[in-house]
């Protein structure tokens, strides 16, 4: 190839990365702080036993993807059926530590993955059972019209017991 034929190709290759990012914004420092705050609010709501506080952090069309290939729970109705069924035994979260390892996104959608540690007590028929696990999570958050970040998808898993 001669220089005149290569020049347009070089110019195109130089501008492809720029063209691919036109109209896309990364997450601002404010977005990242708000996304971290959403995770803190999630911890706080569970530790306070505030079901309405937990629900308020999720979009109306949220999707929960529980561990061990359990069926997806869709929308606030599915969230309630999984976490807050009316006939469930009294359960209290006694420890919840959510540690984001990575936050990425484009200003409208964010993905967050990391580790979690949770402990809870369950009281049924006068017997109290303590349970806990460490695990991983993947969250997708959507920025709302008011600028608030809410969870739209929440996926988690815990460690499998080694035999």
Q: What is the pLDDT along the chain (163 residues), one digit of tens a residue?
A: 454 553 443 333 444 443 333 445 799 999 999 999 999 999 999 999 999 999 999 999 999 999 988 999 999 999 999 999 999 999 999 999 999 999 999 999 999 999 999 999 999 999 999 999 999 999 999 999 999 999 999 999 987 767 6
Would you say 44 and 57 are in contact if contact means Cβ atoms under 8 Å apart? no
Write out the residue range of the structural domain in which residue 69 sits.
27-158
Residue 36 placed within a domain: yes
- Torsion of Cα atoms, 115 then 54 then 88 then 73, to 10°: -70
Residue 8 placed within a domain: no
CATH number, domain containing residue 55: 3.10.450.50
Residue 17 placed within a domain: no
Task: Name the one residue in this structure whose structure tokens are 């806990």.
Answer: 132
Residue 39 placed within a domain: yes
Residue 149 placed within a domain: yes
- Counted domains in the chain: 1
Residue 22 placed within a domain: no
Residue 11 placed within a domain: no
């Amino acid at each position: 190839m001669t220089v005149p034929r290569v020049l347009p190709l070089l110019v195109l290759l130089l501008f492809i990365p720029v063209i691919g990012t036109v109209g896309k914004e990364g997450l601002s420092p404010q977005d990242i702080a708000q996304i971290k705050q959403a995770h803190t609010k999630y911890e706080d709501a569970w530790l306070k036993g505030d079901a309405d506080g937990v629900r308020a952090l999720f979009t109306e069309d949220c999707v929960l993807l529980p561990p061990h290939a359990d069926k997806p729970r869709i929308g606030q109705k599915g969230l309630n059926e999984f976490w807050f069924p009316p006939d469930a035994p009294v359960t209290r979260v006694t420890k919840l530590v959510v540690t984001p390892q990575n936050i990425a996104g484009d200003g409208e959608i964010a993905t967050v993955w990391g580790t979690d540690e949770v402990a809870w007590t369950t009281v049924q028929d006068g017997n109290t059972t303590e349970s806990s696990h460490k695990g991983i999570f993947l969250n997708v958050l959507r920025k709302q019209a008011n600028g608030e970040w809410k969870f739209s998808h929440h996926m988690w898993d815990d460690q499998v017991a080694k035999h």
